Chains A and B, each alone.
Chain A
Amino acid sequence: MTAAVTGISRSLVSCHDCSLLVHTAPDDARHQSACPRCHAPLHARKTQSLSRTWALLIAAAVLYVPANLLPIMRVTSLGAAQSDTIMSGVIYLVVHGMWPLALVIFIASVAVPFIKMCVLGYLLISVQVRSTRRLLDRTRLYRLTELVGRWSMIDIYVVTILVALVQLGALATIEARPGAVYFGAVVVLTMFAAESFDPRLIWDASEGGNE
């Protein structure tokens, strides 16, 4: 099987902003060209993609713990205060018979960030061991990861809206709690992590293995 003709093999770099194909000298640490059309910085591959993605991924994983263990909001009603974590919010919906909604929240707030982190970790490792298997599937996996990440923001918005609506003093008051901040951080970090990963690396690893 002949090696595929890639941009990098022909010293052609595609501008990540305007898609202009630019012929540029092989990467030199001091040399940094800019796109002649839109002046965006030109990189054959995203700068230090693997290390940046690992750093952001690990940071997200670390913050995932307090995001789930700490309460995200507190409801105070007639003297009684009740704090809710993301999971206890899900359980509340289940107990009240709202199964479909509980499932939506569980998937969006608990499952998606976890799965997204696992997928990114898998993609990173698969590139670093120079795997040549399932290239197309891994690329599709990456695209999916990029798309679903933002859905985890649901809980942050729910807290925001509940805080806006329920401000009735002693009768009923809802406030945000620290868990929400950690959770927001996890969403932001995983978004950046997915953005810093260069899917072309998946295919580069396969190039080296071909005759």
Chain B
Amino acid sequence: MDPTTTTFLCLLALMPVLYMYTVGVVATRFPALRNKRICLLIAHPDDEAMFFAPTMLALTRPETGNHVKILCLSTGKTDCFHWRRTHVNIH
């Protein structure tokens, strides 16, 4: 295997490690919301998990002191999809 391919493959393999390190830095050093009353406005019940999971998980950590409400403007019911929602506790 030539050096370029080797380097490339090493980087690819190390990516999860690099990512995990970055998450730690972001969580501690980046701007945050603390002690805020927050409302997440979504259209369909699964939006909070499909799109906003990182936001929800970060903002609801107990040490942030945030209070988060979700306001969902539909049940998302259509002919193909019917919601059967169980109570969600994502912790």
Q: Do A and B come from one complex?
A: no
